[in-house]
Amino acid sequence: MMAPHMAAPDHMPLPALQAALPRLKTDRLTLRVPGLDDLSLLNQISDEQRNQDLLAPDIWDEFLQMTATWVFRGHGWFTVADATGACGLVGLGFEPGDREPELGYLFAAKAHGKGYATEAARAVRDFGRDEAKLPSLVSYIHDGNTASMNVARKLGASRDANSEAALDDSGMQVWRHWGQVS
């Protein structure tokens, strides 16, 4: 017996889906789940930081990973906006092969030096603990990235030598916010 033909809807129920996803607010910032328009922000950040090798060369794949975790894990990345518009991305990443969830942050050059990374990362960290109920959280930071180390320190994270020893990357530091991998 053949399955009956089902017509595709003429539109996706994106507004309903977006309304169900979290929106965080701080004193100066709004954090929302990224939309397709935010791909240009990730491109901009990648262009500005290319020499630091912070992002994968394929921005589309990176963007898909940042947004897909909302569907598969119930948490993910947020677009950060100040009064002038989108300026960064902060998120809870947990890609295949990761040992535990990661708090990451990427900001456009125009947002550097304003304390936005710490403010937004604190809100997302708290969301990960209080709403997503993550059992542990770390930040992976390249040696020499003192700005990211300062953000982790301001959030109360500390270096985890045991987790660093378990990595295959000797140039990567592990900053632990809470919990331990079992």
pLDDT digits (tens, 9 = 90+) for 71-126: 888 999 999 999 999 999 999 998 777 889 999 999 999 999 999 999 999 999 99
Would you call 106 helix, strand, or coil by DSSP? Answer: strand
Query: pLDDT band at 52, cuts 50/70/90?
Result: low
114: closest CA among 82, 156, 155, 78? 82
Of the chain, the percentage scoring pLDDT greater than 90 comes to 62
CA distance linking residue 182 with residue 180, whole number of Å: 6
CA distance linking residue 30 with residue 86, whole number of Å: 9
**Structure tokens that stand for 75 in this block:** 């948490």
pLDDT tens digits, 27-36: 999 999 999 8
Mean pLDDT across the chain, nearest whole number? 87
pLDDT at 1 (0 to 100): 43
Question: Residue 24 is inside which H or E element, if any?
Answer: strand 23-25
Highest mean pLDDT among 5-9, 13-17, 95-99, 104-108: 104-108
CA distance linking residue 131 with residue 164, whole number of Å: 27
155: closest CA among 125, 112, 116, 114? 125
Within 28-78, residue ranges assigned H as helices are 39-49, 59-73
Query: pLDDT band at 5, cuts 50/70/90?
Result: very low
Q: State yes or no: pLDDT of 4 exceeds 50.
A: no
What are the extents of the domains in the chain?
23-178
pLDDT at 96 (0 to 100): 75
**DSSP characters for 123-159?**
HHHHHHHHTS--S-EEEEEETT-HHHHHHHHHTT-EE
Into which CATH architecture does domain 23-178 fall? 3-Layer(aba) Sandwich (3.40)
pLDDT tens digits, 137-147: 999 999 999 99
pLDDT at 120 (0 to 100): 98
